[in-house]
Amino acid sequence: MAVRGIEPVVLELDRLENLAESGYYNPYTMFDWPDAIEPDLPWMSESLVTLAGTPMWDELSREQQIALTRYEAINFFSLNIHGIRELMSEVVMRIHERTYADVSEFLHHFIGEENEHMWFFAQFCLRYGGKLYPAQPTLKAGSVDHLSPVARELIVFARILIFEEIVDFYNARMATDQSLPHIAREINRVHHQDESRHVAFGRMIFTNLLEQVAKRDPAEVPVVADYLEQYLQYSIGTLYNPAAYRDAGIPDALALRRQALEHPARKEAHDEVLKRTRRFLAKSGLETEASK
Amino acid sequence: MTSEPMQEVEKFILGRNPELDHITRDLDLIDSRAINSLAFVEFIFLLEELTQEMIDPEEVDLDDFRTLDALEARFFKKESA
């Protein structure tokens, strides 16, 4: 693990560690998994599906609408699973590096909790959806290999933070959506609860590493900002899975995806999802055209 | 002459790389980061739409995506034949 040229990351994490300890729960026993879910209930909030607010949603039959909420819930939870796999592997590789020695106590909580989240998301998908959607293909050739080691570290933790903040936008809303089945609401609620600590930690480590990048070579800061703006757009795009449209019985999935992504109502919805994160990035000094 | 789907492919790449004014047929699109990992998924969806064929993510051979020539040979030869 190349972390040379990076100063040790020292953060005040006592409060977050105490909260992780006092709020610890057993995920394997805390959920009451029903054998089946009521057939006429949406699994994802209707206002959060990728066609919400467009004529494409109104043109669907009620059966297709309900089916789409279900497959998009499976897609959303699958994205959580793949995102957690990626972030866990990154954190595991760093946990006892000298750079992260001071934060390793919290990282242990973090990995443990993320592993548990992955378990309950997968339970939901496999019990009720019978599958996970596969991870999208990636290029092994890194798009940030040309940056300094510390900028690459920043990007690792920035990706984790952005992923968590986007997911949390959805979790927070679905945690209280009374139209959803109880088990779907519960999973979103529990995840939202843990993620608030992870987001707080993510912002602290992000700020520390960004300061190091800016000190070493300020010219890398706008390059990181542009990459992260692309990552925000990429993350939004993963919510629009043509396989979910096909599974819901909607024809021309790829054309529909393209039209939905470009629809003004959806662009407004994307801005709403990303508002908090863009504001944080801009406040940190990573302003891009899109965040202005 | 560049076929219509290949024009769409070039349009996609140029749209994401404003610093490029054209793409040579043998430019390594991956090593040059003209297509980076964040754009790759969208690029796959574009190819699926243009070819009307699904691409199995587990069967992706990166060499098919490296240059415009390789892309044309792998995805569009049948159409131009």
Task: Write the DSSP string, A77-127.
Answer: HHHHHHHHHHHHHHHHHHTTSGGGGGGHHHHHHHHHHHHHHHHHHHHHIII
Distance of alpha carbon A95 from alpha carbon A145, whole angstroms: 22
Q: pLDDT per residue over A275-289, tens digit each?
A: 999 999 999 999 776
Express each pLDDT in A200-226 by its tens digit. Answer: 999 999 999 999 999 999 999 999 999
Give which of A132, A143, A261, A288 to mutate to test B binding, by max B Cβ within 10 Å.
A143
> How close B1 gets to chain A, by Cα (Å)?
27
> What ipTM score was computed for the predicted complex, to two decimals?
0.85
Q: Where are the domains of chain B?
A: 4-80
Q: So where are chain A's domains?
A: 51-134+144-291
The fold of A51-134+144-291 is Ribonucleotide Reductase, subunit A (1.10.620)
Q: Specify the pLDDT at position A4.
A: 65
State which residues of chain B have pLDDT below 50. Answer: 1, 79-81
Q: Which residues contact B74 (CB under 8 A, 6 or more apart)?
A: B64
Class of domain B4-80: mainly alpha
Q: How far is A18 from chain B, CA to nearest CA, in Å?
A: 37
pLDDT in tens, A147-171: 999 999 999 999 999 999 999 999 9
Q: What is the 3-state secondary structure (H, E, C) of A138-193?
A: CCCCCCCCCCCHHHHHHHHHHHHHHHHHHHHHHHHHHCCCCCCCHHHHHHHHHHHH
**Rounded to two decimals, what is the model's pTM?**
0.92
Q: What is the pLDDT of residue A219?
A: 95
Contacts with B, A 140-169, CB within 8 Å: 140-143, 146
Whether residue B60 and residue A233 make contact (CB cut-off 8 A), yes or no, is no
- Whole-Å CA distances, A243 to A90, A212, A239, B45: 28, 41, 11, 11
* Partner-chain contact A141 B40, CB within 8 Å: no
Q: Which of B38, B58, B62 sits opposite A143 (nearest CB)?
A: B38
pLDDT at A292: 63
Q: What pLDDT digit, counting tens, does each position of A69-102 carry? A: 999 999 999 999 999 999 999 999 999 999 999 9
